[in-house]
């Protein structure tokens, strides 16, 4: 069977990426899926700071409802948390084959424990639980090529129509939000069925 490429636009600062991190690997780890990991840093893929502050109370209500339904913890991190280093670290985690645990553990550190993953103390703690050493994490953060990659991802997201996160792109089909994973699954199943015919 031909692999199906799925672009994944993801910002560690998004609570909806936190929700998606609990379910998306059920879809993405299928043997015929080629994950094209596209992490974003800073405010890329998110509402502007002004709009985010306006949305914050409603977003937290919404995410709290989702967390109750999913039976997962929810302790929002400081609003000043910068996700860029987490995104840089994820590129090394992908290279070393520990991307899934890295995403899960970093999101837990931030959204279940409420810690600022922009502070290396907390990011290192999560990375170590995932199997990424402090030296590997630091090397990823210091590598200017990784920062360039994040900038390229932001431009690609705009070109792909990914105006929010998480976004999953399969060809011309764009699935935005943790609540679109069922639609993504249905689309992938339809593609598989077409290949079998």
CATH of the domain at 36: 3.40.30.10
Which letter does DSSP use for residue 39 in this model?
E
Q: Which pair of tokens denotes residue 10?
A: 């993801």
The answer for residues whose C-beta is within 8 angstroms of residue 192's C-beta and 6 or more apart is 1, 4, 32
- Measured between alpha carbons, how far is 106 from 94 in angstroms, rounded to an integer? 14
**Total domains, the chain:** 1
CA separation for the pair 134, 146 (Å, rounded):
17
Residue 181 token pair: 């994973």
Question: CB of 180 within 8 A of CB of 17?
Answer: no
Range of the domain at 166: 4-196
pLDDT value, residue 55: 85
pLDDT mean by block of 10 residues, the chain; 197 residues: 91 98 97 98 80 85 98 96 98 98 98 98 98 98 98 97 97 97 98 85
List active site positions: 14
CA distance 169 to 31: 18
What is the reported pLDDT for 1? 56
DSSP letter at 153 equals H
Distance (Å, whole) CA 89 – CA 134:
10
């Amino acid at each position: 069977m031909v692999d199906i490429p799925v672009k994944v636009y993801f910002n560690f600062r998004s609570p909806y990426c936190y929700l998606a991190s609990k379910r998306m690997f059920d879809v993405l780890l299928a043997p015929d899926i080629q994950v094209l990991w596209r992490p974003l840093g800073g405010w890329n893929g998110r509402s502007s700071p002004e709009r985010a502050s306006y949305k914050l109370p409603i977003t937290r209500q919404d995410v709290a409802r989702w967390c109750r339904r999913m039976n997962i913890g929810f302790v929002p991190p400081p609003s000043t948390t910068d996700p860029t280093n987490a995104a840089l670290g994820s590129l090394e985690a992908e290279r070393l084959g520990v991307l899934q645990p890295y995403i899960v553990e970093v999101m837990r550190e931030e959204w279940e424990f409420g810690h600022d993953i922009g502070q290396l103390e907390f990011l290192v703690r999560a990375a170590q639980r995932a199997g990424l050493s402090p030296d590997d994490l630091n090397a990823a953060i210091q590598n200017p090529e990784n920062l360039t990659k994040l900038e390229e991802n932001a431009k690609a997201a705009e070109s792909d129509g990914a105006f929010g996160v998480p976004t999953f792109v399969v060809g011309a089909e764009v699935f935005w939000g943790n609540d679109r994973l069922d639609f993504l699954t249905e689309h992938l199943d339809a593609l598989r069925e077409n290949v079998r015919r």
